[in-house]
Amino acid sequence: MEANRIFLGIVCLGVIGGAGVFGGSGVGAPSSRTAGRDLLLRYSSGDLSSLRSVEMTGKRNDVLCIARAEVGVRELRGNNDGNRVAEYLAYTGIKVPAPWCASYVSFVFGKAGYAQPRTAWSPAMFPISRIVKEPKPADVFGIWFPELKRIAHVGLVEKVKDNWIYSIEGNSSPDGSREGTGVYQRLRHKRTIKVYADWIINN
């Protein structure tokens, strides 16, 4: 967990620098895109032993830095498959192929050092004790599907601006499908979202 947080500190400083996940000129930020790619490769492979410690930037930003590092992951054949998707699902005890939006969110929290949430079942992301009215960055959002009579797609709030939610979500697509083929950043209107959960507080 400590090694993960070292990596997160470096990446988050890059975000604060204003040039994306690996950009920026903040202290401790990678000096080039090559360095940034190297850090991402180390994170993906679990090789974090040589990364030096830097100041942390907050629990919510830790979660979002992990989530952003996964943007661009795609299914292998468009059938809830592929090595990285298998890792998301395995974290919640599920084998491919299976819907993986909740497993992705769980995986992100796990990589950030949180034991919970850890579920592949979207409705389980929203116990009463975690539900909040006003969304914040790194909260989990849930979308209600009337035909299924339940929350059937989840993702992470990246930021909130007026009535809009900037999100990071797995098993999605550019048009916001719940059966999409990758990890995407999206823009959703608040009225399309049923519920939010805060897994940072008291976790």
pLDDT at 14: 47
Query: Do 47 and 75 sit in the same domain of this protein?
Result: no
Query: Do 47 and 105 sit in the same domain of this protein?
Result: no
**Would you place residue 54 in the very low, low, confident or very high pLDDT band (cuts 50, 70, 90)?**
very low
Give percent of the chain with pLDDT exceeding 70.
Answer: 72
> Residue 149: inside a domain, yes or no?
yes
| Average pLDDT of the segment spanning 64-76 | 98
pLDDT at 202: 84
Query: Do 154 and 92 sit in the same domain of this protein?
Result: yes
Query: Do 75 and 172 sit in the same domain of this protein?
Result: yes
Here the CATH number for the domain that contains residue 128 is 3.90.1720
3-state DSSP helix/strand/coil percent for the chain, to nearest 5?
Answer: 35, 20, 45
Q: Higher confidence at residue 132 or residue 55?
A: 132
pTM: 0.75
> Residue 169: inside a domain, yes or no?
yes
Query: Do 18 and 77 sit in the same domain of this protein?
Result: no
**Would you place residue 12 in the very low, low, confident or very high pLDDT band (cuts 50, 70, 90)?**
low
Asked if residue 104 has pLDDT above 70, the reply is yes
pLDDT at 73: 98
pLDDT at 177: 83
| Sheet of 164-172, strands arranged across | 131-132, 195-197, 140-145, 150-161, 164-172, 182-189
Measure CA 36 to chain center: 18
| Average pLDDT of the segment spanning 38-48 | 44
> Residue 177: inside a domain, yes or no?
yes
> Residue 63: inside a domain, yes or no?
no
Spatial contact of 61 and 12, defined as CB atoms under 8 Å apart: yes
> Residue 203: inside a domain, yes or no?
no
Instruction: Report how many domains make up the chain.
Output: 2
pLDDT at 39: 41
Query: Do 168 and 126 sit in the same domain of this protein?
Result: yes
The whole domain housing 113 covers 69-197
pLDDT digits (tens, 9 = 90+) for 160-176: 999 999 999 999 999 87
pLDDT at 175: 84
**Would you place residue 40 in the very low, low, confident or very high pLDDT band (cuts 50, 70, 90)?**
very low
> Residue 202: inside a domain, yes or no?
no
> Residue 158: inside a domain, yes or no?
yes
